[in-house]
Structure 1
Amino acid sequence: MIRDFFAGMGYLWGGFRTIARPGMRRYAAAPVLVSLVVFVALAALLGWGFDTWMAALLPGGWDWLEWLLWPLFALGILLVWVFTYVHLTNLIGAPFNDLLAERVLAESGGAPPAEGGWAQILREGARAVGNTVAVLVYSLRWAVPLLLLTLIPGLNVVAPVLWLVFNAWLLALEYADYPLAARGLAFREQRAVVAGERPAALGFGLAALLVTSIPVVNLVAMPAAVAGATRLFAERGGSIAPRAEAPQGAG
């Protein structure tokens, strides 16, 4: 189990090596550009709002409390940043991530790259966006109980660990969509496949969560995670067939 966990983390580092290769860079260029735009927009929004929110929290004459509240507020901002950044970049970059995943699959002996032009890109992008929304709905179902747990004295000491595991699991599910959808699997079926590789999936998701929280590095985190997850589930999640052949392999 521990070996699988660290193997899962290794797939993310392998994803960075994959997108750095000359033949793969062009497929990673668009996701990196999407990450850059989202990064700058969120940084500007949070930077502008930080002082405003602090001023609203502290009434006149209480500015001296800022040094106490700042670390807590900054931690909250970081958590919101990571959650929002990951899902926004995946939502906007979904069509380009599909192209990258198809190229990685082709190198792994899986489905060949789609040749349907922009119509194919839009169809695959719509599917990927739909899966991202499904992950968000799924996350809300579990986030509410975890949020309540943080309010219960005594039990809330385990809440940070549970949140960490939960977010790692969500990232594994989100990035697993790209290779598993090539088998024609719906989100519910994808969850079963990812659960079958739970230690590796959690290791991968935790590594993705960590690099996403590092400024500048997170600009290339998304394409690296797409490439890494594609290889992970191509090699460990069973044979990935082209979409048209998926019904034949379902049994």
Structure 2
Amino acid sequence: MTGHEHQSASVSPVGSPMAAFAHGFSLPMRAVNLLLTTRGLKRFAALPLVFNVLLYVLFLAGAVWLIGLIDVQVGPWEFWWGFGGWLSTAINWSLGPLKWLVAVPVLLLLCYYTFTMVGLIVAAPFNDMLSERVERAICEPKEKQSLPLRVTTALMVQSMLDAIGILGRQILWTLLVLPLIFVPLVGFLPLFLVGAHFAGLGYFDTSMARNNLRNRHKAPVLRVHRWELLGFGVAMQLLFLIPFVGLLMLPVGVTAGTILYTRIDWERALREAGLERPTGFIPPRPRFNTE
């Protein structure tokens, strides 16, 4: 890695909104390259992936078992000289397959729209370990700070609350745009963009929360980099649509979010926002260019 040029991080977005979107869109591929070429990262990438996949396998197995227990039937109908009985039998016969025709797409959609945020919350310790290792691989070593256990615990709780807050906002916006799904041709787009926005935000937030940045510190950077985050989120949502490949995207997203985090001049961002460094925060200093 010593052959790479030193990176000049900046709080400014990459050129125009279109260029910023394209840069964000390319982040997952940069993350894949970093994971494959940096020694020692793969095992940390596997931890959140395995944990989240196992969680969803258990969820799907439980859901399938519960749905299988549901026995939906209509009672016997007696009218039209036996026609009612035949009709009720035919309906009962079709309700079984119909139950699964409805349940399977609903379960798949539920997994698609929750996999990222649930993974970022329940696998948070593993995501933090991966993000920290990625930051170490990219940046100059940090001076170790010894914080009291009380402060460390409070910061961890606050980070989890931030992630839950993002999930809550995603659920709210999803419910607001969900009725638009019935609009022909373009009805899916608002729902997709909501998912993309919160995917980019969630992956980026892993590094910010791990470094003790709170919402007031994040807000100015999120505004400036909104197009990069949207491009990043759109790329992640599209990759997640690829069968089986989508399951691998959790560590890729965490890595990509960390790459974006290290590219930002946080000293300048906080100074321009009139904010002081939060407790325990040490700005990243990249050793090489990840572009």
Is the counterpart of residue 48 in structure 1 residue 65 in structure 2?
yes
Do 2:27 and 2:256's aligned partners in 1 also have CA atoms closer than 8 Å?
yes
- Which residues in structure 2 correspond to 1:89-128 (within 5 Å)? 89-109=119-139, 112=142, 125-128=156-159
- The corresponding residue for 1:6 is 22
Do 2:135 and 2:262's aligned partners in 1 also have CA atoms closer than 8 Å?
yes
Q: Structure 1 212/116 Cα, relative in aligned 2: closer, same or farther at 3 Å? A: farther
Deviation by residue 1:134-175 (Cα, 9 ceiling, x = unmatched): 112222332332235457xxx576441000000110111111
Selected match of 1:25 from 42, 51, 56:
42
C-alpha RMSD of matched pairs (Å): 3.7
Cα distance in 1 between the residues matched to 2:21 and 2:166: 22
- Which residues in structure 2 correspond to 1:232-247 (within 5 Å)? 232-235=260-263, 237-239=264-266, 244=279, 246=281
- Larger deviation, residues 199-208 vs 83-92: 83-92
- The corresponding residue for 2:227 is 199
Greater helix fraction, Structure 1 or Structure 2: 1
- The corresponding residue for 1:146 is 177
- Larger deviation, residues 101-110 vs 8-17: 101-110
What TM-score comes out, normalization by structure 2 length?
Answer: 0.67
Displacement of 1:239 in angstroms is 3.6
What is the number of equivalent residue pairs in this alignment? 243
Cα distance in 1 between the residues matched to 2:283 and 2:139: 18
Output the amino acid matched with 2:119: T
Cα distance in 2 between the residues matched to 1:131 and 1:111: 27
Deviation by residue 1:206-239 (Cα, 9 ceiling, x = unmatched): 222233344533443111110111102322x434
Selected match of 1:61 from 83, 90, 108:
90
Cα distance in 1 between the residues matched to 2:240 and 2:196: 11
Selected match of 1:175 from 193, 203, 215:
203
- Which residues in structure 2 correspond to 1:73-84 (within 5 Å)? 73-84=103-114
Cα distance in 2 between the residues matched to 1:248 and 1:13: 25
What TM-score comes out, normalization by structure 1 length?
Answer: 0.76
Q: Structure 1 113/34 Cα, relative in aligned 2: closer, same or farther at 3 Å? A: farther
Output the amino acid matched with 2:174: A
Displacement of 1:111 in angstroms is 6.9
Q: Structure 1 8/56 Cα, relative in aligned 2: closer, same or farther at 3 Å? A: farther
- Classify the secondary structure of the residue corresponding to 2:72: helix
- Which residues in structure 2 correspond to 1:123-134 (within 5 Å)? 125-134=156-165
Displacement of 1:8 in angstroms is 1.2
- Higher gyration radius (CA): 2
Cα distance in 2 between the residues matched to 1:215 and 1:91: 23
Selected match of 1:209 from 233, 237, 243:
237
Q: Structure 1 142/36 Cα, relative in aligned 2: closer, same or farther at 3 Å? A: closer
- Larger deviation, residues 16-25 vs 158-167: 16-25
- Classify the secondary structure of the residue corresponding to 1:22: coil
Cα distance in 1 between the residues matched to 2:135 and 2:219: 20
- Classify the secondary structure of the residue corresponding to 1:56: coil
Percent identity, aligned pairs only?
22
Q: Structure 1 215/38 Cα, relative in aligned 2: closer, same or farther at 3 Å? A: farther
Q: Structure 1 136/216 Cα, relative in aligned 2: closer, same or farther at 3 Å? A: same
- Classify the secondary structure of the residue corresponding to 2:90: coil
Do 1:94 and 1:128's aligned partners in 2 also have CA atoms closer than 8 Å?
no
Q: Structure 1 142/182 Cα, relative in aligned 2: closer, same or farther at 3 Å? A: same
- Classify the secondary structure of the residue corresponding to 1:220: helix
Displacement of 1:197 in angstroms is 1.7
